[in-house]
Amino acid sequence: MPEIYDLHCHSTASDGALTPTELVRRAHEQGVTSLALTDHDTVAGLSEAQTAAAATGIKLIPGIELSSSWQNKCFHIVGLNINPAYPPLTEATRNLQIMRIERAEKIAYKLEKKRIPGALEAVKKAAGEGMITRSHFADFLLSQFHVSTQQEAFDRYLGAGKAAFVPTTWSDLELAVSWITGSGGVAVLAHPLRYKLTASWMKRLLAAFKEAGGVGIEVVTGRHNSDEIKTVADYATRFELAGSVGSDFHNPSNQWVELGRLTPLPANIKPVWELLS
């Protein structure tokens, strides 16, 4: 049986639609043999996912997707094979949860000013014990017919500089990487093309990321086409970074990012799973 890796996805512990158990079962049905659960800024879904994985025979890699700041911009760092009980990481996730609640209050206030009341209650209810994200606000705006797509919610309200955007200073990229590596994990730069950096800024970012201890980059993500894969593979080669593959799956209704349905890593790229012991 071929090994199929999917090293980036979300559950109800953050902005995914499926519980960790449902997610693991779906990954198994899709033929995934190694799955990393990488919820935004939380490890809360990992123990349930581990139990479900043991029952299905899939290998579960404990992960996280940390929000970080570098040069006043937000970058996502995926940690693979982390130790969720590593105290600095546990403390960081606690602080991130508080930051996210405070940010949600500010976003809701901005929406109220735009005559859109009730957002805070709705997102708190939807997120439950999980991390509150802008996706929850997008779902709320959609459910109240203020927008007709998730994308429109970001374009009009939630995206950078838009009506309900709240600039957030996350922990420094170096610190976020250190929580991952300190816990025994491997740090991977998530979806590098989503930041819309120029080539020279991308090189500065990758130099800083490597300097901080980052060792991998997502060469294949759910929405990459072959040109994009080649672009990122070239960065991986140039900066001697291992390549990761991850769908960034959030929701079964987004058919184009199904779990495990990923282009193989280019043959000249060192697979990040070779670094996971």
| End-to-end C-alpha distance for the chain, whole angstroms | 21
Q: CB of residue 274 vs ligand AMP: minimum separation in angstroms?
A: 27
DSSP state of 154: I
Rg of the chain in Å (alpha carbons) = 18
Q: Which of 39, 48, 218, 248 binds Mn ion (CB under 5 A)?
A: 248
Largest CA distance in the chain: 56
Q: CB of residue 140 vs ligand AMP: minimum separation in angstroms?
A: 13
Q: Outline where 86-172 has alpha helix (H).
A: 87-113, 119-127, 134-143, 150-153
Fill in the per-residue mask, 95 to 134: x = in contact with ligand AMP (CB under 6 A), - = not in contact. --------------------------------------xx
Q: CB of residue 236 vs ligand AMP: minimum separation in angstroms?
A: 22
200 class by beta-carbon count within 10 Å (0-12 exposed, 13-18 middle, 19+ buried): exposed
Q: CB of residue 75 vs Mn ion: minimum separation in angstroms?
A: 9
User: How many helices and strands in the chain, by DSSP H and E?
Assistant: 9, 8
Q: Which stretch binds Mn ion (CB under 5 A): 71-79, 124-132, 157-165, 255-263?
A: 71-79
Report if residue 100 touches Mn ion, rule: CB under 5 A.
Answer: no
**Measured at CB, which residue is nearest to Mn ion?**
76
Report if residue 150 touches ligand AMP, rule: CB under 6 A.
Answer: yes
Q: CB of residue 10 vs Mn ion: minimum separation in angstroms?
A: 5
Report if residue 81 touches ligand AMP, rule: CB under 6 A.
Answer: no
Q: Which stretch binds Mn ion (CB under 5 A): 26-34, 68-76, 164-172, 220-228?
A: 68-76
Binding at 151: pick from ligand AMP, Mn ion, none (beta carbon under 5-8 Å per type)? ligand AMP
Task: State how far the Cα of 172 lies from the Cα of 205, in Å rounded to an integer.
Answer: 12
Q: Give residues 174-203 in contact with Mn ion (rule: CB under 5 A).
A: 190
How many CB atoms lie under 10 A from the CB of residue 234?
13
Taking the least distance from each CB to Mn ion, the nearer of 15 and 48 is 15
Binding at 67: pick from ligand AMP, Mn ion, none (beta carbon under 5-8 Å per type)? ligand AMP
CB of 244 closer than 8 Å to CB of 188:
yes
What is the sign of the dihedral through the CA atoms of 225, 227, 232 and 233?
Answer: positive
SS3 77: strand
Taking the least distance from each CB to ligand AMP, the nearer of 27 and 123 is 123
Task: State how far the Cα of 204 lies from the Cα of 53, in Å rounded to an integer.
Answer: 38
CB of 166 closer than 8 Å to CB of 103:
yes
Q: Give residues 208-267 in contact with ligand AMP (rule: CB under 6 A).
A: 250
SS3 203: helix
Q: CB of residue 7 vs Mn ion: minimum separation in angstroms?
A: 11
Q: CB of residue 16 vs Mn ion: minimum separation in angstroms?
A: 8
Q: Please report, as ranges, the residues that interact with ligand AMP according to CB under 6 A.
A: 15, 40, 67, 133-135, 150-151, 154, 250
